[in-house]
Structure 1
Amino acid sequence: MVDPKPAAVSRRRLLTGTLAGGAAIAGGGVLSGCSTRQDVRRRDTADPWRQFAGCTLNFVSENTAPTSAIAADAQRFTELTGIHINIVTLELSALVQKVALDLASGQSQYQVLYADSYQVLAPYAEGLVDLREPAGDPSLPGDTSRFDEFVPLQMDVSGRFGDGERVLALPYDCATMIWQYRKDLFETYHDRMAADLGFDPTPGPQRTWEEYFRIAEWFNDNVDEVAYGTGHQAKQHDSLMCDFSNVLFAHGGQYFPDGERVGRYGAVDPGPCQLDSDAALEAAEFYRRLLSVADPASRTWDWTGVGAAFAAGRVAMCPNWHEFAADNERALPGKVGYAALPSGPVKSANMYGGAGIAVNGNTAPNERKAAWLFLNWATSRRTQLRNLTGEVGGATPTLSSIYQLPEVRAAQQRPTDMPTMLTAPAVRRAWQPEYSGMRPKIPMWSECDTAIYTELSRMLAGDATSAQAMRDTTEQVDRIVSRGWVAAR
């Protein structure tokens, strides 16, 4: 049977109603499942996939494109294993609360967990199963060599914490910020822009952020097809921290010493905040200037808002998560281009925002083996390829080998029935360490994040200078980290 073309499903879009397929979708109520008081029975069978047939697993996830695709496809998992899977989808903050309560209870209402790298993996690493355990079990499908199949950066950021040895999650969601732009307008006005600006305006990491600023101003002053040259996700929200971080890292700034290691592997004690460094101050001042020429509504937009504005033809370009490509291609077919973000004085930094799926450490021995079967299946090559091309597809593969398949390579050019793959050249570059941007993976990150975007918002509102905002943020972050470090000891 040929799968129909993928629907446009944005990474952060809230799922409404029940998705078709083998999974029951719930909004957060009490679910039945493999008992946490009495372990599930292992069946005597020669088929390693069916040794836990009859079990029911509960999976709690953020509302993401991979989970919508998995839910629509889950009947295949039930047919393969005899295991039924219930999927609860929540907004991220509600998911974090559910996971925290479940881990603290000593029970496992949810055996499979969506492990956001910063709000689940880092603070609750000790409550997750080291997946080397089930992967090393010869009675189960899959082995530890599976870990080498994933994009290396994603495996480290989404799957590991601290020492880099334990594998606590498998890469599942790999949202990455890139430069999205009106390819048709850049082509139409290329020669005129080049003559006026004195440089080739073609988007990519060969451009600088200062040149991006000048391109935005040029569109503001010269083009009627769009209202503004650039738009940003600068609402007082996590999105503001993400948008700013691209500029911070490009200027050589970091949130903490050895920031790339802390972003890739994580740390409990990351050291003193470095947002008062010269590089960070320069980045903050530039970001303030950039927002002064952006669409004024940027200060009300998160990633969904700026994505909608871009798709509606309001702005000529924006930094945004690559998985918005499906929406772009539906609204502006053939008119959008994708590239790595501009470079600052140090590098082109493209924020990585991926997450993994993990097994609750409270599960009983056989129950966690059943959960491993789901993780193994959900991240398998066959399942990821179906999710990319299926009716509810659009999820981006996390296995390196999928990008080498002829049909996937061909889909990176128009016409394509895999619109997200139009971003593949940009995101694959962004997943190289020299182009990546990684926020700190620390247990206290949620509080630090709030302090950062709150002070940045004050700066953009004119209530603080860029220097004052960075100094105030530094003091707040140091207090938060110090408090968390003392509690951890």
Structure 2
Amino acid sequence: MGSPPPSSAPRPSPPPSRRSVLRGAAGAGAMGLLAACGGRSDAAFHADAGPWRRYAGTTVNFISENTAPTAAIAADLKPFTELTGIRVNIVTLELSALAQKVALDLASGNGEYDVVYADPYQVLAPYAPAFADLREFAEDPGLPRLPGGFDDFIPTHLDAAGRFGGDGKILALPYDCPTMVWQYRADLFKRYRDRMADDLGFDPMPSDDTTWEQYYAIATWFNDKTDAVRYGTGHQAKQHDALMCDFSNLLWSYGGDYFDGGTRVGRIGTLDPGPCRLDSDAAIAGAEFYQRLLKIADPGSRTWDWDGLGAAFRAGRIAMCPNWHEYAASNEAAMPGKVSYARLPKGPARSAGMYGGTGIAVSDVIPERRRQAAWLFVNWATAPKTQVANLASKVGGGTPTRTSVYEMPRVTAAQHRPSKMANMLSATAVKKTWRSDTIGLRPKIPMWAECDTAVYTQLSGMLAGDASPESAMRAASSRIDRIVARGWVN
């Protein structure tokens, strides 16, 4: 792909209190005094220069997870530096380490990081008050316009990765968008299509009408009827954030969710999501099917996160799997022409695929001119031209988050082989998944990291045979209710 979606293990130590973050954000709003106390100077400023050149001589610090677009941008910062005269220092970390670094920086008011990879769950939701409202920069006539405006971003991305709460603020611009889709060996499905159809009584080729029960039957057929692969399906079912992601696709497809109003909680976010609903009949039914599916999946699944699953698929060990779409690039490199992509199967309620995208934000714990210089980078890094360059980068491979990019003839053509933008081979499946009725959004709440741990811990016990689906879901629900009732640390 170049890089997997956000990772979450191990979890960082408890973050600083919400009160301290609010205090830091308030201080930053008061002339940037906390940032000044931290020792970082304000940005250089040239009043007579053009909008892109007014902060020439400034250095902007960007902290990011080691993602595909960041790898591409880091490999070619020259266009931005030539445009603005601004140097960019990029620090890349595993996500949990990033979340801890950002939390400490915001709480201290040091303002070490100007631009932040604001994971919606570990960074944006817990520390929303410490990020600038990007509308102030987009509306400033003294700053370069945002090409295409906010409306050019895919709506579900702008909400899920860019907002928190219902105040209308835009705190981050969508930067990456890994999404779970059905990845399958098209060569094997083509070879065995007629035999499978005769044996199973339905056309096995993945389509929008395929159900999870049919997926199960196809996987079983590969297990029993051919030696072309060792197993029909594999999953990212390690005791890890990956397990929560994998299971959630089934949870939503069966009509379950983590909280009432799950779409709102996942898309906009909230401080108070209400009682957990993992103990509902629909959620338990989803867990029962997931347990049954994993019993016929590759046994290695319980040791794999998304990387392990991707490696097993590329090695020819399994015929199909749900995984993040940005593995398309590495799939194509390992098995050129052999892999295709579809929206995930539908359950009794709907089809749903987990969205794992993140935006980049401007810290509010820095002086005003430094915020404006940081905005220039955020604007450039998410611009259509930059997103196309990332898509074609040999070291990147990130997928665009803007509607206009998908309408470019060069990008449209790349959705078909031969393609120099291999991630675009999954574009049809991904765009179907991004619709408001099919996108899968985990809860965007400040305490989600701890809730996530509760979910995958109980699921792991269920898969090991230590708990029934019903008891696992009820235990997870009870634990999440206690976490939410305790709220954010004061």
TM superposition score normalised by structure 1: 0.92
Which of 368, 389, 399 is the matching residue for 1:396?
399
What whole-Å deviation, never above 9, does each CA across 1:252-305 have from its counterpart, x for those lacking one?
001000001101000100000000000000000000000000000000000000
Residue 402 (structure 1) shift:
0.7
Residue of structure 1 in register with 2:421 after alignment: 418
Letter in 1 for 2:438: Y
Is 1:11 paired with 2:14? Answer: no
Is 1:465 paired with 2:458? Answer: no
Residue of structure 2 in register with 1:479 after alignment: 482
Supply the distance in 1 between the matched residues of 2:41 and 2:417 (Cα, whole angstroms): 53
Whether the 8 Å contact between 1:135 and 1:144 is mirrored in structure 2 is: no
Residue 202 (structure 1) shift:
1.1
Residue of structure 2 in register with 1:318 after alignment: 321
Supply the distance in 2 between the matched residues of 1:445 and 1:412 (Cα, whole angstroms): 35
Residue of structure 2 in register with 1:116 after alignment: 119
TM superposition score normalised by structure 2: 0.92
Residue of structure 1 in register with 2:241 after alignment: 238
Letter in 2 for 1:324: Y
Residue 249 of structure 1 aligns to a residue whose secondary structure is helix
Supply the distance in 2 between the matched residues of 1:220 and 1:105 (Cα, whole angstroms): 55
List aligned pairs for 1:43-62, cutoff 5 A: 43-62=46-65
Residue 318 (structure 1) shift:
0.2
Residue 205 (structure 1) shift:
2.8
CA distance 1:430–1:267, change in 2 (3 Å): same
Supply the distance in 1 between the matched residues of 2:184 and 2:92 (Cα, whole angstroms): 31
Residue 38 (structure 1) shift:
3.4
Residue 220 of structure 1 aligns to a residue whose secondary structure is helix
Whether the 8 Å contact between 2:46 and 2:56 is mirrored in structure 1 is: yes
What whole-Å deviation, never above 9, does each CA across 1:314-373 have from its counterpart, x for those lacking one?
000000000000110011100001000000001000110000000111010000000000
Residue of structure 2 in register with 1:23 after alignment: none
What whole-Å deviation, never above 9, does each CA across 1:109-128 have from its counterpart, x for those lacking one?
11100011111111110111
Residue 171 of structure 1 aligns to a residue whose secondary structure is strand
Supply the distance in 1 between the matched residues of 2:95 and 2:244 (Cα, whole angstroms): 16
What whole-Å deviation, never above 9, does each CA across 1:110-151 have from its counterpart, x for those lacking one?
110001111111111011111111111110001596111100
Supply the distance in 1 between the matched residues of 2:205 and 2:126 (Cα, whole angstroms): 41
What whole-Å deviation, never above 9, does each CA across 1:444-482 have from its counterpart, x for those lacking one?
000000000000000000000111000100110000001
Residue of structure 2 in register with 1:428 after alignment: 431
Residue 88 of structure 2 aligns to a residue whose secondary structure is strand
Supply the distance in 2 between the matched residues of 1:218 and 1:186 (Cα, whole angstroms): 11
Which of 294, 298, 322 is the matching residue for 1:295?
298
How big is the alpha-carbon RMSD for the aligned residues of Structure 1 and Structure 2? 1.6
Letter in 2 for 1:312: A
Letter in 2 for 1:443: P
Residue of structure 2 in register with 1:448 after alignment: 451
Which of 255, 258, 269 is the matching residue for 1:255?
258
What whole-Å deviation, never above 9, does each CA across 1:161-192 have from its counterpart, x for those lacking one?
11050000000010000000000000110111
Supply the distance in 1 between the matched residues of 2:340 and 2:278 (Cα, whole angstroms): 33
Whether the 8 Å contact between 1:61 and 1:95 is mirrored in structure 2 is: yes
Is 1:156 paired with 2:159? Answer: yes
CA distance 1:129–1:242, change in 2 (3 Å): same
CA distance 1:392–1:148, change in 2 (3 Å): same
Letter in 1 for 2:118: A
Which of 225, 228, 236 is the matching residue for 1:225?
228
Which of 402, 405, 409 is the matching residue for 1:406?
409
Whether the 8 Å contact between 2:146 and 2:379 is mirrored in structure 1 is: no
Supply the distance in 2 between the matched residues of 1:170 and 1:423 (Cα, whole angstroms): 23
Supply the distance in 1 between the matched residues of 2:6 and 2:141 (Cα, whole angstroms): 39
Whether the 8 Å contact between 2:4 and 2:306 is mirrored in structure 1 is: no
CA distance 1:346–1:12, change in 2 (3 Å): closer
Letter in 1 for 2:246: D
Whether the 8 Å contact between 1:36 and 1:363 is mirrored in structure 2 is: no
Whether the 8 Å contact between 2:5 and 2:357 is mirrored in structure 1 is: no
Supply the distance in 2 between the matched residues of 1:117 and 1:195 (Cα, whole angstroms): 46
Letter in 1 for 2:441: M
Residue 92 of structure 2 aligns to a residue whose secondary structure is strand
Supply the distance in 2 between the matched residues of 1:466 and 1:89 (Cα, whole angstroms): 38
List runs of 5+ in structure 2 lacking aligned partners: 8-34
What whole-Å deviation, never above 9, does each CA across 1:383-409 have from its counterpart, x for those lacking one?
111111123231101110111111111
Residue 73 (structure 1) shift:
1.8
Letter in 2 for 1:140: L
Residue of structure 2 in register with 1:375 after alignment: 378
Residue of structure 2 in register with 1:337 after alignment: 340
Point out the more displaced range, 139-148 or 430-439: 139-148
Supply the distance in 1 between the matched residues of 2:6 and 2:255 (Cα, whole angstroms): 33
% identical equivalent positions: 62
Residue 187 of structure 1 aligns to a residue whose secondary structure is helix
CA distance 1:209–1:180, change in 2 (3 Å): same
CA distance 1:336–1:37, change in 2 (3 Å): closer
Residue of structure 2 in register with 1:204 after alignment: 207
